[in-house]
A = this chain, B = another copy of it.
Amino acid sequence: MNHQSTDGTVSTPDIIDMLRSAGLRPTRQRISLAALLFGQGDRHTTAENLYEEAHRAGVRISLATIYNALHQFTEAGLLRELAVDGTRTYFDTNTGDHQHFFIESEGRMIDIPAPSLKVTGIPNLPEGKRVARVDVMIRLVDE
């Protein structure tokens, strides 16, 4: 299940593995994207952002393919989608239980590990529903 080594890097064979076990064909583009996404610890990125990064790294890939890949990765449970401000969609490589600071001035997010942050006093849920996820976003501005 864990495809990352302790130093935060991921080797190509491991990436191919990760994609295969997610039921995704390890194509050149997906391998490149996965390497960028999972090769350097937890990160939060947007499609456009990743597109530029890929091009800077010399990877030939279209924006449409990036969107496809990000959604496929999300469905496969490799990424988590974050709603922040209604304009762009962020993707988080950390799919574990955690929350976020959001720095409005920079459009940047910082992870808050789950153990420290707690949400208590959730009222009874409406009939026939269950909690899919609890999202906490702590919005920060300059002092």
Contacts and interface: CB of A to CB of B under 8 A. Distances in A.
20 contacts: A83-B83, A83-B84, A83-B85, A83-B137, A84-B86, A86-B87, A101-B126, A103-B126, A112-B122, A117-B120, A117-B122, A118-B120, A119-B119, A128-B142, A129-B142, A130-B140, A133-B139, A134-B137, A135-B136, A135-B138
Interface of A: 81, 83-89, 101, 103-104, 110, 112, 116-123, 125-126, 128-143
Given A129-B141, A143-B129, A136 B119 contact: yes
Contact of A129 (B84, B103, B117): B103
A132 to B, nearest CB: 4
